[in-house]
Amino acid sequence: MKVIRAASVLSLILIFVFSPINFSFFVSVSPASAVDLMIEEDTEWSGLQTISGYVTIVNGATLTIKHGAIIEFEGRSGITVEGNLRVNGTPSDPVLFRKRNTANVDDVYSIDGFGNIYARNIDVSGGGSAFETFLIGREKRDTFIQHAEAMWLYRGAFTVRDTGTLDIEGANFHNNALAVYLNRNNGFGINFHQSNFVSNDIDVVSAVQYGNLDMSNNWWDDANGPIACTLDCGDYYPRPYQKIIGTINFIPWLDHFASSSSDVCTENCFSNVMFLPGIESSRLYAKDDPG
């Protein structure tokens, strides 16, 4: 019996050693890994650029994208900004960020900022993701499952993390799963104005806990500003608005699609429901209430 078992083991070893094996059964290998790029010195992009993997701008390097450039992403891809990203679009010749295969919901891209992002006059579509996952655990080793805790995982078309900075004006964010994700504790170094949020699943997710997060003078797809939740919208963060999760300052807002710096609501600009720590709701005005 021992001889039979030894022969069986030896046969299996020989099969694994001399037979061709497709290891894709064990490890998911994306062809995008073959086109990953490290930008280690100052670089300039123009025209059409297709990103099929992950581009990393290392600390100390700057990637400058010239006006009129088109940045297309395919598969699961993105740009990680450890250094500096400068996007120099113009009103007549913006820079486009978009998915190459718009119909493929599994394609996801994100510009992920640990460093500094500066962008003017950009058009961003098809980016970001937001999905719910569950953590399942048990209280004791000898028991069955006790509880399952839901949590949300976010990637913005533009994401800022830790001490990264974001300075954006003249942007058009449309048809994104999640337009902007601010995954940091404070609002310092975030400047976001004169931009549009149109037909996104979620406009902004903010984890900012302190410091004024100023996202005023933007268009939120409605003349009355961000649309409040009439019912509980749910989700991981407090959510008084349909497309904003977390706390931001959006007052005053633009009263129509951003086309010039004068398109700002200045009269009777308020939010009926504004989430503040420790306060369920309040009526906030752009100017002091004379009453």
Please write the tens of the pLDDT for every residue from 61-81: 999 999 999 999 999 999 999
User: In angstroms, what CA-CA distances link 47 with 66, 68, 75, 186?
Assistant: 8, 7, 20, 36
DSSP state of 52: S
SS3 string of 198-248?
Answer: ECCCEEEEECCCECCCECCCCECCCCCCCCECCCCCCCCCCCCECCEECCC
106: three-class secondary structure by DSSP: coil
Q: Are strands 95-99 and 116-125 parallel, antiparallel or unpaired?
A: parallel
Q: State yes or no: pLDDT of 261 exceeds 80.
A: no
Q: Give pLDDT, residue 215.
A: 94
Residue 209: predicted pLDDT: 85
What is the tens place of the pLDDT at every residue in 23-50?
332 222 233 333 689 999 999 999 999 9
Average pLDDT over residues 127-136: 73
Please compute the mean of the pLDDT values over residues 130-143 and round it to a whole number: 58
Question: According to the model, what pLDDT value does residue 36 have?
Answer: 86
Average pLDDT over residues 205-233: 89
Neighbouring residues of 104: CB distance < 8 A, sequence distance ≥ 6: none
- Going by pLDDT thresholds of 50, 70 and 90, the confidence category of residue 240 is confident
Confidence (pLDDT) at 185: 87
Given a cut of 90, whether residue 21 has pLDDT beyond it is no
The string of DSSP letters for 124-181 reads: EES--EEEEEEEEE-SSTTS---EEEEEEEEE-SEEEETT-EEEEEEEEEES-SEEEE
Mean of pLDDT over the chain: 77
Q: What is the predicted pLDDT for the residue at 284?
A: 31
Is 100's pLDDT higher than 70? yes
37 three-class SS? strand
Burial status of residue 3 (CB atoms within 10 A of its CB: 0-12, 13-18, 19 or more): exposed
Structure tokens at 166: 């974001």
pLDDT in the model for residue 41: 97
Burial class of residue 184, CB neighbours in 10 A (0-12, 13-18, 19+): buried
- Say what the pTM is: 0.73
**Who has greater pLDDT, 250 or 276?**
250
